[in-house]
């Protein structure tokens, strides 16, 4: 049972308002980026807008919940190891942990390719209880609360009905970690390209998950992700009737970095393909 959180507003309302305000601002900065820097590699970008949006969200959350902990992508040193360590530390810090990705799909944002979102999750004792994903371009607000379902602008979301991989359209990712994650993803992508109706790689893990929740995609696979890419989207998928595990079938928890999220019906078939292709690692 989730205890009531004391505050002037419900945490769900705060998550929605923060995602909405940050999303509007991000949209207004399209084409007006002041600063683009690389992090780990030439594929790993960050802009002044990523940083500004994260600060905006942090301030809004802390106004209402000053004793909650916050883990945000742009406040963590780059790299897989630093990200995993930051999560471990943040989990120790407080019962309530907000997990934020201010812009998921920064490469798209920089390109002006309209597929990116704000992702905000709240975990209680390590379990995600609220997930909000906002796409400011289409003005779509995806909201999930543990045990209470998932919605896009008030309409319940439901995963797709496809029960065969061959009839399914899946999302995959060309993870920017070229040395470790990309080779694994490429094995999976090659195997899946031959077994599915089609694949999409639109460049936002969180929005891919929201689309699985909404039945627009039947599944999503990628290794090399971080907690803030997945937390909100995983709850959306689960609350929409789907299944979220790691690539070998262990249930999702906030430390998972190798992800399979589906409508449930094609889950085992997808895991089997990844296993045969040796595409489960990282």
- Binding-site ranges for ligand 2AM (CB under 6 A): 40, 44, 73, 101, 104-106, 173-177, 203-205, 224-226, 229
Which among 57, 103, 133, 243 is annotated as catalytic? 103
In angstroms, rounded to a whole number, what is the distance separating the alpha carbons of residues 280 and 259?
A: 9
Sheet holding 140-145, edge to edge: 69-72, 96-104, 117-124, 127-135, 140-145, 149-152, 155-156
For ligand 2AM, the closer of residues 40 and 169 by Cβ is 40
For ligand 2AM, the closer of residues 196 and 241 by Cβ is 196
177 binds, among Ca ion, ligand 2AM, none (CB under 5 to 8 A by kind): ligand 2AM
H-only helix segments in the chain? 11-28, 48-64, 80-93, 106-111, 181-193, 205-213, 227-239, 267-276
Task: Note if 106 is an active site residue.
Answer: yes
Task: Note if 137 is an active site residue.
Answer: no
For Ca ion, the closer of residues 102 and 188 by Cβ is 102
204 binds, among ligand 2AM, Ca ion, none (CB under 5 to 8 A by kind): ligand 2AM
Q: Give counts: helices (H), strands (E), the chain.
A: 8, 14
**Residues counted in the chain:** 282
What HEC string does 179-211 produce?
A: CCHHHHHHHHHHHHHCCCCEEECCCCHHHHHHH
Task: Note if 101 is an active site residue.
Answer: yes
**Three-state DSSP class for residue 143:** strand
| 103 annotated binding-site participant | yes
In angstroms, rounded to a whole number, what is the distance separating the alpha carbons of residues 270 and 282?
A: 17
Task: Note if 229 is an active site residue.
Answer: yes
239 binds, among Ca ion, ligand 2AM, none (CB under 5 to 8 A by kind): none
Task: Note if 50 is an active site residue.
Answer: no
Whether the CB-CB separation of 225 and 176 falls below 8 Å is answered with: no
Rule CB under 5 A: say whether 177 interacts with Ca ion: no
Q: How far is the CB of 70 from ligand 2AM (least distance, A)?
A: 16
The token duo for 111 is: 């390109």
113 binds, among ligand 2AM, Ca ion, none (CB under 5 to 8 A by kind): none
Binding-site residues for Mg(2+), in ranges, read: 73, 101, 103-104, 229
Interface residues with Ca ion (CB under 5 A)? 73, 101, 103-104, 229
Catalytic residues: 73, 101, 103-104, 106, 229
């Amino acid at each position: 049972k989730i205890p009531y959180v004391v505050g002037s507003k419900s945490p769900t309302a705060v998550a929605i308002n923060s995602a909405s305000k940050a999303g509007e601002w991000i949209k207004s900065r399209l084409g007006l980026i002041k600063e683009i820097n690389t992090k780990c590699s030439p594929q790993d970008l960050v802009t002044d807008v990523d940083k500004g949006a994260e600060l905006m969200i942090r301030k809004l959350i802390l106004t209402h919940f000053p004793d909650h902990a916050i883990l945000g992508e742009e406040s963590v040193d780059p790299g897989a190891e630093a990200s995993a360590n930051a999560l471990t530390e943040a989990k120790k810090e407080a019962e309530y942990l907000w997990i934020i990705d201010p812009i998921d799909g920064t490469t798209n944002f920089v390109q002006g390719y309209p597929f990116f979102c704000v992702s905000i999750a709240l975990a209680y004792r390590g379990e995600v209880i609220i997930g909000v994903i906002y796409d400011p371009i289409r003005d779509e607000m995806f909201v999930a609360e543990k045990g209470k379902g998932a919605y896009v602008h008030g309409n319940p979301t439901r995963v797709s009905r496809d029960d065969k991989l061959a009839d399914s359209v899946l999302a995959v990712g060309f993870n920017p970690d070229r040395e470790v994650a990309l080779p694994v993803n490429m094995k999976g992508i090659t195997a899946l390209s031959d077994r599915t109706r089609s694949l999409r790689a639109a460049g936002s893990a969180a929005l891919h998950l929201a689309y699985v929740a909404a039945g627009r995609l039947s599944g999503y696979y990628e290794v090399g992700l971080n907690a803030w890419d997945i937390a909100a989207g995983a709850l959306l998928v689960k609350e929409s009737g789907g299944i979220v595990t790691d690539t070998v079938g262990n249930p999702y928890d906030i430390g998972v970095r190798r992800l399979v999220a589906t409508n449930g019906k094609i889950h085992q078939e997808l895991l089997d393909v990844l296993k045969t292709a040796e595409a489960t690692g990282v």
